[in-house]
């Protein structure tokens, strides 16, 4: 069995004052392994994005533990946590978070610049990864000149340029037509998933369920089912 990449133990997240708490995630536990593309699905408001935000070091849980590559991330110092987010996790947000005044290549190079790598070398690597996702010819354009699918590929290239072990996608096909969405997810699984990487995807897009190795279904902040394969055999959470 493959090595555990991510372990969540009894995660809880609530918002609001103590006497009027709204629970987004309720006592969620699961493991994701290297070499696995794991989906987290469910209706809007079921806690999917909140769960991934806790796993990626963006949002601190009220209780519970997140262990990534053997490190309990919420015991890290602020500097260590920032380093974890920069080096270990690649996060692709639903709205891409591209910088409008930067070119496509500069957007992709940004994580390397933040690591204080050489500017010219960072841009060279950005072009290399834009070639990987098939839009090297758009390298000098600003994001406003790109289609939704092209912006998605830029965000993907930026997430993988530093070669993180954990890739996290929040609704990666939300703004894409069915054919483009399947092409993007198929590309991710074929070209980026390997025995040294784990991919977590939040989605409610049934058109791409076939690509999942496992599907964790959430409702009301809890995991209610674990499906092996996109729509395959059911096991208890």
Residues 54 and 13 sit within 8 Å (Cβ to Cβ): yes
**Average of per-residue pLDDT across 97-126:** 93
Q: Is residue 230 scored above 70 in pLDDT?
A: no
pLDDT value for 237: 32
Question: Which of these, 68, 75, 69, 34, lies nearest to 52 by C-alpha position?
Answer: 68
pLDDT value for 229: 76
Residues 54-105 pLDDT 10s: 999 999 999 999 999 999 999 999 999 999 998 899 888 877 789 999 999 9
Residues 177-192 pLDDT 10s: 788 788 888 888 888 8
Residues 203-228 pLDDT 10s: 888 889 899 999 999 999 999 999 88
pLDDT value for 236: 34
Q: Which residues contact 98 (CB under 8 A, 6 or more apart)?
A: 107, 143, 151, 154, 155
The side-by-side arrangement of strands in the sheet containing 198-202 is 89-92, 166-170, 198-202, 37-41, 214-219, 222-228, 234-235
Distance of CA 170 to the CA centre of its chain: 6
Q: Is residue 32 scored above 90 in pLDDT?
A: yes
Q: Does domain 1-88+164-237 have CATH number 3.40.50.10420?
A: no
235 against 185, higher pLDDT:
185
Q: Is residue 1 scored above 80 in pLDDT?
A: no
d(CA 228, CA 168): 19
């Amino acid at each position: 069995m493959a090595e555990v990449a991510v372990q969540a133990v009894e995660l809880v997240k609530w918002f609001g004052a103590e006497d009027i708490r709204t629970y987004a995630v309720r006592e969620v536990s699961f493991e994701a392994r290297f070499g696995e593309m794991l989906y987290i699905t469910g209706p809007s408001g079921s806690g999917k994005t909140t769960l991934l935000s806790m796993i990626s070091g963006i949002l601190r849980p009220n209780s519970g533990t997140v262990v990534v590559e053997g490190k309990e991330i919420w015991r890290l110092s602020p500097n260590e946590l920032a380093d974890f987010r920069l080096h270990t996790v690649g996060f692709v947000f639903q709205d891409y978070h591209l910088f409008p005044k930067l070119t496509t290549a500069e957007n992709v190079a940004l994580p390397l610049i933040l690591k204080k790598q050489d500017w010219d070398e960072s841009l060279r690597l950005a072009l290399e990864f834009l070639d990987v996702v098939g839009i090297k010819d758009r390298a000098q354009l600003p994001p406003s000149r790109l289609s939704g699918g092209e912006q998605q590929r830029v965000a993907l290239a930026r997430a993988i340029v530093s070669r993180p072990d954990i890739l996290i996608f929040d609704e990666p096909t939300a703004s894409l037509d069915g054919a483009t969405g399947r092409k993007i997810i198929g590309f991710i699984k074929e070209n980026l998933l390997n025995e040294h990487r784990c991919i977590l995807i939040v989605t409610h897009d049934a058109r791409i369920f076939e690509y999942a190795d496992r599907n964790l279904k959430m409702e009301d902040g809890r995991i209610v089912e674990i499906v092996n394969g996109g729509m395959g055999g059911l096991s208890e959470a």
